[in-house]
Amino acid sequence: MRLTIEKYHGLGNDYLVYDPNKNKLKLTPARVQFLCNRNFGVGADGVLEGPVLEGDRISMIIWNSDGSQTQNSGNGVRIFGAYLKDAGYVQKKDFSIHSQGGDIDIHYLNEEGTRLKASMGKASFWSDEVPVAGPRREIINETMVFGRIPYPVTCLSVGNPHLVILMDEISKELVCRIGKYSESARQFPEKINTQIMKVLDRTHIQTEVYERGAGYTLASGSGCCAAAAAAYRLGLTDPKMIVQMPGGTLELEIREDATVLMTGDVGYVGSIKLGNHFTEQLRALDK
């Protein structure tokens, strides 16, 4: 049995698309870890499993590279939208993708399907919706301690949990130092994605991200949405802004009802036919 997967990236945040309609091997946490391994596997920040077709509804499952599943991924939904067009599942310009985080509306901005706008749902700062332990409250500029250092954090959900820390200077080293403590901190029962953010002006911010289940990544779509929503809620930016990451930029818009719109590009790497030996190694896992 030969398996074929497609590889895409959103600003350097790379995913494998595993189509269950074309491949019969069931994905498991161990198999996802092996596929995403950058030395012994194909290498990726995660796997997008789908489309799962139920009538008119198109669903996908988002896997992190550690084999865990997540509710939402901004780069992931754009990549999946590009794949749906490339594979002929979708012809119209507007459609919805269902994930564990809810329905995401997608709009193609070019004929190739490589530039997309996604409506990522409403940002919520309420602790029980993120979730964050403790009494129900909006978590805005609340002090939390990670690695014995206190930080002013803003926590929110955009379909998945995020914490955002405003800083004067940001770096990969700094977000990794914080993220290794914050990801699994006791106040976050479902773990959390960590963004450190620098505001450049009213329409530009910079972020670095440490994703739960994946670690440091060059870009995060949902992380950008969270950072933009936090910056706007803190009164630091206009509702429309550019978010800069090491992997590139995304355009963000925060509407009056707290709905977050994200616009960005997707890159197609190629189709990969897995070798017989590698496929047998995959099959042997979880037996």
Best CA proximity match to 190, nearest among 38, 70, 102, 30: 70
User: Is 182 assigned to a binding site?
Assistant: no
Residue 168 is given by DSSP the state S
On the CB side of 164, CA atoms within 13 Å amount to 32
How far, in Å, are 130, 139, 143, 180, 209 from residue 146 at the CA level? 18, 16, 10, 9, 15
Q: Say whether 13 counts as a known binding-site residue.
A: yes
Residue 221 annotated as part of some ligand binding site: yes
Tokens matching residue 65? 């590279």
Residues 5 and 63: beta-carbon distance below 8 Å: no
* 211 assigned to a ligand binding site: yes
Find all residues with CB under 8 Å of 86, minimum gap 6, and list them: 6, 113, 268
Residues 210, 218 contacting (CB under 8 angstroms): no
* Cα 8 from chain centroid (whole Å): 14
> For residue 15, which of 42, 43, 47, 39 has the smallest C-alpha distance?
47
Sequential DSSP letters for 202-237: TTEEEEEEEETTTEEES--HHHHHHHHHHHHHTTSS
What H or E segment, with its residue span, contains residue 90?
Answer: none
Q: Is 222 annotated to bind ligand? A: yes
Helix 276-284 with 29-36: angle, nearest 10 deg: 150
Query: Would you say 74 is a known binding-site residue?
Result: yes
Classify strands 69-70 and 46-54 as parallel, antiparallel or unpaired: unpaired
Residue 10 known to bind ligand? no
Which residues does the annotation place in the binding site?
A: 13, 64, 74-75, 160, 193, 211-212, 221-222
Which residues does the annotation place in the binding site for substrate?
A: 13, 64, 74-75, 160, 193, 211-212, 221-222
